Amino acid sequence: MEQLIYKKYKTSSAKIGENNRFRQQLWLDLKCPDFNSNELEALDYKKNELVSFFIDYNRCHNQEFANYSKKTKKDFFNLTIRPRLNNSSLQIQNSKSEARSVNFENKFGPGIGVEAEFILPFNKNKWAIILEPTYRAFKAERVKPVNNLTGGELVANVDYSSIELPIGLRYYLFLNNHSKFFVDATYVIDFDSNSFIEYTRNDGSMVKTFDINSGSNLAFGLGYKLNNKYSVEARYQTTRQLLGNYDLNWSAEFNTSISIILGYSLF
């Protein structure tokens, strides 16, 4: 090991001079066919330039090396595309008429979200705030035989699409430098769009129609992430009321029993 020589000094004319002997040391002791004297003359006594020079020297001779000055990027923000498959159901209840009560059984449907994740800079980056606008849709039809309606059948249709906005916290459990489990809990605000529930007779004539006015609910997830790039999550949501503006005789409870969510982090 040898000390590189570099020194600033005051000249006799009260100016600042430099002793750049380190350039000669490098030229004499670290030979490489790719180096030339002009490059050495332009080399400044600065950490980044000297580190770059030693890296070039080791690569020139195919030597293994470790760059201890290289800083690991601290990743405090992630943006992730998250397609999913939702298993959902809807139960409409009318307390005065059992004939109007309809159960839309579990049905699979697609959805997609874009998640913004903000890693909190404490507790070894285990906590994060998540925000994920998500599009989802649920369409179904159910024909129910009834005695008190012309045609003897009640046809119930639901057309429900919305943008969900889950906001919440995530906690990571690190397995190693490349993989980790996580759990999260979110409060889900729902913005429905031109959604409705309607009842018709079997000839298509209208019996009753509702404009959906969805409420909020909670969601809980468990997942796994690999290389801070790929992820998979299973998420459960509590029941959400879809008929908030109607009288107490009517209720429509929408439930997503499970969502399987894949993720790919853009950055």
Q: pLDDT 10s digit of each residue in the chain, 267 long?
A: 889 999 999 988 888 999 999 999 999 999 999 898 888 899 999 998 999 999 999 999 998 888 877 655 567 899 999 999 999 999 999 888 888 899 998 999 999 999 999 999 889 899 999 999 999 999 999 998 888 788 889 999 999 999 999 999 999 999 988 999 999 999 999 999 899 999 999 888 999 999 999 999 999 999 999 999 999 999 999 999 999 877 778 999 999 989 999 999 998
Residue 73 is predicted with a pLDDT of 54
CA dist 3 and 54 (Å) reads 14
Residue 72 is predicted with a pLDDT of 53
Burial (CB < 10 A; 0-12, 13-18, 19+), residue 82, is buried
Task: Name the E strands within the chain.
Answer: 7-10, 16-19, 77-94, 102-119, 127-131, 134-145, 153-174, 179-192, 196-201, 206-211, 217-226, 230-237, 240-241, 250-265
For residue 85, give Cα distances in angstroms to 44, 46, 164.
Answer: 58, 54, 15
Residue 87 is predicted with a pLDDT of 96
Domain boundaries, the chain: 7-60, 77-265
Classified by CATH at the fold level, domain 77-265 comes out as Porin (2.40.160)
Task: Report the amino acid identity of residue 126.
Answer: K
Residue 146 is predicted with a pLDDT of 87
Residue 74 is predicted with a pLDDT of 61
Residue 236 is predicted with a pLDDT of 97
